[in-house]
Structure 1
Amino acid sequence: MIEYLFHSTWNSEWDEFVVYLQQFKDISFILTKGNHDILPKAVLTLSPLQVVDYLQLGDRLILSHEVIPDIPRHTMNIVGHLHPGVQIQRRGRQLFRLPCFVLQDNVFLLPAFGRWTGLHILKNTAYNQVFAIVGNGVIEVF
């Protein structure tokens, strides 16, 4: 699944990407369309991508760009839109802003890994678990 593809209109990189995907005839590529996927439907239709609003895998997993409200409690919704981050303050005015994974009820928020995406700094609550990305590892911070 591709969560977020290109934050731009058509460009030559899109054509290179399509050629790359066409090398893998036995693989189905699915894009869960998000707010940054602004290419016209006609351009997406000509690509090897299947474009969906969300992808449901059985009755226990839904992949989507934004949180899907009112899904059954036994179904996990994995979401990529929010770009969660955590701020950790240490002695000596050290302040770290790190991308993180967040689990709250049956919603699992994925971090953004791009340099230009920014972070939505979350507050710790009794209802969530926060897992910061530190170097090549992941640690629970609250």
Structure 2
Amino acid sequence: MTNFTFVLKIVTEHITIKNEELILTNQRALYWPREDALILSDVHIGKTAHFRKHGIPMPDDVLQKDLERLKRLILHFDAKTLLIVGDLFHAERNSDIFTFKEWLTQFQELKLILIKGNHDRQSQLLMDDLNIEVVTNLVSGPFKFLHEPKDNDKEEFVISGHTHPGVLIRGKGKQKIKLPCYQITENQLILPAFSLFTGLNTGNNTEEADYYAFTNTAIFKI
């Protein structure tokens, strides 16, 4: 595995949903203290290797940076469970998956749960090899975890991913910037995509939602 260093600052925002404390971070994941669980979505391991396989040059360190951020978050919160809300993987088995397998060896006691996403087409044999529990949904406490958002059920609070939410912030004149965010409504929280190698979707934003956008050094409510 390639060795490299980069500056990483973990900034947090504490919120309460259904009487449960959740800690949002500017590093594209949230922590649920009561369950000692780090929760994230859309890691898309294998995406860069997939692009390279098809002749599109991609930097080698994209996955390395994602995994280094994930490592820092696990250690920062001393998380006991890693809950991935879909799209842990992106494509067929390739070299990135072997990189991930090697990375996992440093977390022997970490419990991994994957809510199966639309890109998670890997074999059960591989999931068993990586010691990942795979489910289609998970109900824990007051929350239901799904990959794709579901906003038509008022009886449960859904935590999901899939849409890669972002906000467009306009400055003076023609200045504007897109930032990733957490999108929260009365009955749903949509996580930002964890991987840095993903696009941002600002097309599903509504006035009924709260948005917590973030940068490398800050997190703030819009």
TM-score (structure 1 length as normaliser)? 0.82
Matches within 5 A, 1:41-52: 41-52=124-135
What whole-Å deviation, never above 9, does each CA across 1:55-112 have from its counterpart, x for those lacking one?
2113x01222112465453x32111111111111111210111111111111001112
| Letter aligned with residue 28 of structure 1 | K
Residue in 1 aligned with 2:138? 55
| Letter aligned with residue 138 of structure 2 | L
Distance 1:22 1:72, change over 3 A: farther
Alpha-carbon distance between aligned partners in 2 of 1:90 and 1:80, rounded to the nearest angstrom: 28
In structure 2, the residue corresponding to 1:37 is in which secondary structure?
coil
Residue in 1 aligned with 2:95? 12
Contact 1:18 1:48 in 2 (8 A): no
| Letter aligned with residue 146 of structure 2 | S
Give how far 1:124 is off.
3.6
Residue in 2 aligned with 1:133? 214
In structure 1, the residue corresponding to 2:84 is in which secondary structure?
coil
Alpha-carbon distance between aligned partners in 2 of 1:107 and 1:86, rounded to the nearest angstrom: 17
Residue in 2 aligned with 1:65? 147
Residue in 2 aligned with 1:30? 113
Distance 1:113 1:24, change over 3 A: closer
Alpha-carbon distance between aligned partners in 2 of 1:107 and 1:40, rounded to the nearest angstrom: 30
Which has the higher mean CA deviation after the structures are superposed, 105-114 or 93-102? 105-114
Richer in strand (by share)? 1
Alpha-carbon distance between aligned partners in 2 of 1:124 and 1:72, rounded to the nearest angstrom: 17
Give how far 1:38 is off.
2.3
Richer in helix (by share)? 2
In structure 2, the residue corresponding to 1:120 is in which secondary structure?
coil
Runs of 5+ in structure 1 lacking a partner? Answer: none
Distance 1:11 1:138, change over 3 A: same
Alpha-carbon distance between aligned partners in 2 of 1:87 and 1:26, rounded to the nearest angstrom: 40
* Percent of matched pairs sharing the same residue: 33
Contact 1:22 1:48 in 2 (8 A): no
| Letter aligned with residue 31 of structure 1 | L
Distance 1:14 1:86, change over 3 A: same
Contact 1:21 1:48 in 2 (8 A): no
Runs of 5+ in structure 2 lacking a partner? Answer: 1-82
Alpha-carbon distance between aligned partners in 1 of 2:127 and 2:110, rounded to the nearest angstrom: 17
Contact 2:151 2:187 in 1 (8 A): no
| Letter aligned with residue 83 of structure 1 | H
Report the RMSD for the aligned CA atoms in angstroms.
2.2
